[in-house]
Amino acid sequence: MKDHYSIIFLNSRLPNRKIIENYTERSSYIICADGGANKIRKYSILPHIIIGDLDSINKETLKYYTKKNIQIRKIEGQETTDFEKSLLYCIENNMKKCIIFGAIGRRSDHTLNNFSILKRYYKSLELKIIDDRYEIYFIKNNISFDYKKNKTLSFMAMPYAKGITTNGLKYPLNNEDLEFGVREGTLNESISDKITIQFIKGDILLFKKHFL
């Protein structure tokens, strides 16, 4: 995800300023999902658009961004969350790559719901959730990436993945299966500066450190 991508700010806890600035400096388009606007106001970030049913953004923040001539799009309906409304906006406007901040919060139900939405759209969009430690995203069948040695890396099937083979990990898999609630791939460790994960079928959610 280099060069051009969009950034979506959700309404949960944001990573530290250094991490956000590492991505926003290269951002092509900044989207706030409703109450996410309350969060980024503290960082003096101006979004291009605020999207959602506007039940979470506070009046002071709404007034502030209105005076700044920020586009505000109110979308009614409880069938989709503000996160999903933002992703649909990206699809509508041919924005194929998205970084997501504020998806991991204190409420586990919100976090799991965000993972579910991530799964629903990862084959249509290139999506990464960023928190203080990890890049979190669904991988597509074959992936290879540089990594630091002796560092934690986790992945899990959502809900299953078949025929997984890995290279560069302390606990390798060789054409093996993972299933949510049965067997996970969390808390593995890198033994190489190059990691490879391949699988035949299913969905795998990867947690890899970004070292920022």
Contact of 26 with 51, CB cutoff 8 Å: no
- What is the distance between the alpha carbons of residues 188 and 29, in angstroms, rounded to a whole number? 35
Q: Which residues belong to CATH 2.60.120.320 in the chain?
A: 138-209
- What is the distance between the alpha carbons of residues 177 and 195, in angstroms, rounded to a whole number? 18
Q: Kindly give the residue spans of alpha helices, DSSP state H, lying in 1-146.
A: 17-24, 36-41, 59-67, 82-92, 108-121
Q: Which residues belong to CATH 3.40.50.10240 in the chain?
A: 6-132
Q: Which fold has domain 138-209?
A: Jelly Rolls (2.60.120)
- What is the distance between the alpha carbons of residues 6 and 131, in angstroms, rounded to a whole number? 16
Q: Given a cut of 60, is residue 209 above it in pLDDT?
A: yes
Its pTM stands at: 0.93
Contact of 14 with 37, CB cutoff 8 Å: no
Q: Given a cut of 50, is residue 211 above it in pLDDT?
A: yes
Averaged pLDDT of the chain: 93
Tokens of residue 83, six digits: 């996160």
Task: Say if domain 6-132 classifies as CATH 2.102.10.10.
Answer: no
pLDDT of residue 26: 62
pLDDT digits (tens, 9 = 90+) for 175-198: 999 999 999 999 999 999 999 999
pLDDT of residue 5: 83
- What is the distance between the alpha carbons of residues 70 and 54, in angstroms, rounded to a whole number? 14
Give the confidence band of 27 by pLDDT, cuts at 50, 70, 90: low
Contact of 37 with 54, CB cutoff 8 Å: no
Contacts of 44 (CB under 8 A, 6+ apart): none
